[in-house]
Structure 1
Amino acid sequence: MTETNPTKVQLVQVDPELEGQRIDNFLRTFLKGVPKSLIYRVLRKGEVRVNKKRVKPDYKLQAHDEVRIPPVKVAEPQELPSVKLNKVANLEQYILFEDDQLIAINKPSGMAVHGGSGLSFGVIEALRALRPEQKFLELVHRLDRDTSGCLLVAKRRSALKSLHEQLREKQVDKRYHALVSGHWPASRNKVKAALRKNILKSGERMVSVAEDGKESETRYRVLQSFEQATLVEAFPVTGRTHQIRVHCQYAGHCIGGDDKYNDEVFNLAMQEKGLHRLFLHAYSLSFMHPKTGERQTLIAPLDPQLSQVLKNLSHA
């Protein structure tokens, strides 16, 4: 990776939009490509000053603070994907809602939310390429690569802060549609099982039910019953990695098309019905709009493949 070495001290005035942000997080965003260790070193040595005074990493910025940033070695920013790429250009058609605070995407299955792990780009990099004039674009939450549906991206730091607070306070209501094996009993409306995340030697993440795991709960409602499967609505009360998928497996009803927590016989049967992806879709998202304070609900329609699979199934 090529490197540049700015030789001049930079004086940056803090935008009121960034008020309340910690200085270490501000520097990590401003000095993209600089190792965390170096950021904390220059803070510790007093080379970063706010209003000509030394500050600790947890100092919270105030509007119009003047930040002195010393010369540091910055890695060249990674190039954004070309807007001519089909995947990037097509993302425009998946936008469900957009205003001056946020963008909501009906994320397609198979597209990661961000680049990394061998992927050159994801939704956030693609959006930055589509909206080069937009100074701030950050993911509010995440979806697994194979999961489709509602994904929120903040266009202002204040919106990101508000939505993160709502997520912490469990004020965001996320509903998923999942096609699971067998007959999910209508009386089974919740699965509570602690989950533990394991990293395999290959680097792959696998989650399992374990007594020493983190407390996790998913609520369920039957939407449609078929001969071999059930379409359920899943509402994750907690937000653990792969939670809905593992809870479905634990309940004895694996999600169709799941290649990790699967029922091979069911997957083969669903392939014959036209399913060639994970049938897990973030169908709706409800939250308080960060600017108006009004409750807003977004609905992401199922993609044509999932809709067709449901049409191909025989009713129970």
Structure 2
Amino acid sequence: MPAASKVAYVEAGEGEAGQRIDNFLARILKDVPRSRLYRILRRGEVRINGKRAAASQRLAAGDRIRLPPLQRSASAAQQDVPKTPSRALREFVTGAVIYEDRDLIVLNKPAGVAVHGGSGLNFGVIEALRAAYPQLTELELVHRLDRETSGCLLVAKRRAALRELHALLRERRMEKRYLALVVGRWPFGAKTIDLPLMTHQRQGGERVVRVHAAGREASTRFEPLRHFGKAATLLDVSLGTGRTHQIRVHAAHAGHPIAGDEKYCERDLDAKIRAAGLQRMFLHAHSLSFTRAGAAVPFTITAALPPELQSVLDRLAQG
């Protein structure tokens, strides 16, 4: 569907039921940058059945979606080159695939690669996969990982699979586990942090999340796996909810921010860990587990800890 030059209305079909409105817009307005799509959503210019639509709102079959004028100038269009992900990015992303079947692709996403384009990035994982597999016309992200987080990332190959997996996420029947190295000696043992989170926009559009009484509920469970003296602790982390920056903010609020997290950790706090060779945020989506429709046993996938993180642990262990 081309970008509209005036207000337009589209209707969600059966195949779109359960899909997030931001993903729906990205699919039908392919020539509009995601950053602009999120901007019109924040401003309330996209409406579903006459009501303002949040980016995370899910569609139902028959929903009437209002699209604002999105005519783009020739100069704006010229700024969109290149039009497709580079061969290097396509090969980098496809090389990270660790599992594939009729319904799913699972990647061990490398740190530094965004899951989708936007916010100054032309392309991410999903655009690279679509370019690498043009025959798969329904590829969609099931969930997201921060750009600097590595590990298990689910991509649905069919809309029916996407709806099923989104239902599992909504009903909290998908277990997501992370490995996180935090600054200092974690003193709490196994601990669940239930504190609401609110997203703020800093000047320049940077997104920052804070613990706030008026925020959305968020639950994170931390369990220590290994202490490295007083310098650091390796934690197993599981999510009760899936809020933006949830693990990072809850860990920082507990006084033990994730090592290498430039947004929520003061750089001098993790100096000893950086001296062990850490050059990125130490947060890795280690495993996913869920029961698929008709399956007798859960589907479980594990993504190995990247070598650059394992080497940090090895050096810390040596003292």
TM-score by length of structure 1 reads 0.77
| Deviation readout 1:213-260 (Å, 9 max, x if unpaired) | 222111011111112110001112111111101111111111110001
Is 1:219–2:198 an aligned residue pair?
no
Q: Residue 169 of structure 1 aligns with which residue?
A: 171
Shift, 1:94, TM fit: 1.0
The alpha-carbon deviation at position 263 of structure 1 amounts to 3.4
Shift of 1:186: 5.0
1:264 Cα deviation from its structure 2 partner: 2.2
1:295 shift after superposition: 1.2
Which residue of structure 2 lines up, in the alignment, with residue 18 of structure 1?
15
Letter in 2 for 1:100: R
Matched letter for residue 305 of structure 2: L
Alignment correspondent of 2:98: 96
Candidates 118, 137, 140, aligned match of 2:139: 137
Retained in 2: the 8 A contact 1:226–1:315? no
Pairing 1:243–2:246 present: yes
**Compared with structure 1, are the counterparts of its residues 99 and 275 closer, same or farther at alpha carbon in structure 2 (3 Å cutoff)?**
same
Between Structure 1 and Structure 2, whose CA radius of gyration is higher? 1
Q: Distance in 1 between matches of 2:294 and 2:250?
A: 35
| Corresponding residue number in structure 2 for 1:48 | none
Aligned to 1:113: 115
Distance in 1 (CA, whole Å) between partners of 2:90 and 2:122 is: 12
Partner of 2:300: 297
Task: Name the counterpart of 2:84.
Answer: 80
CA distance in 2, matches of 1:21, 1:254: 35
In 1, are the aligned partners of 2:18 and 2:166 still within 8 Å (CA)? no
TM alignment of 1:1-316, pairs within 5 A: 18=15, 20=17, 28=25, 29-30=27-28, 32-33=30-31, 60=61, 79-82=83-86, 84=87, 86-185=88-187, 187-227=189-229, 228-290=231-293, 292=295, 294-314=297-317
The 3-state SS of whatever aligns with 1:113 is: coil
Q: After TM superposition, give the deviation of residue 269 of structure 1 in Å.
A: 1.8
Cα drift, residue 291 of structure 1: 6.4
Quote the Cα distance in structure 2 between the aligned partners of 1:283 and 1:59: 33
2: distance between equivalents of 1:207 and 1:25? 20
Gaps of 5+ in 1: 6-13, 45-57, 62-71
Over 3 Å counting, the alpha-carbon distance change for 1:292 and 1:135 in structure 2 is: farther
Aligned length: 278
- Under a length normalisation based on structure 2, what TM-score does the superposition of the two structures give? 0.77
**CA–CA separation in structure 2 for the residues paired with 1:300 and 1:261:** 25
Determine helix, strand or coil for the equivalent of 2:247: helix
Q: Which runs of 5+ in 2 are unaligned?
A: 6-12, 51-58, 63-68
In 1, Cα distance between equivalents of 2:45 and 2:209: 34
Shift of 1:130: 1.1
State the distance in 2 between where 1:185 and 1:59 align: 46
Query: Is this contact kept in 1: 2:18–2:163, CA < 8 A?
Result: no
Aligned 8 A contact 1:255 1:280 in 2: yes
Distance 1:4 1:293, change over 3 A: farther
Which stretch of the first structure deviates more once superposed, 73-82 or 145-154?
73-82
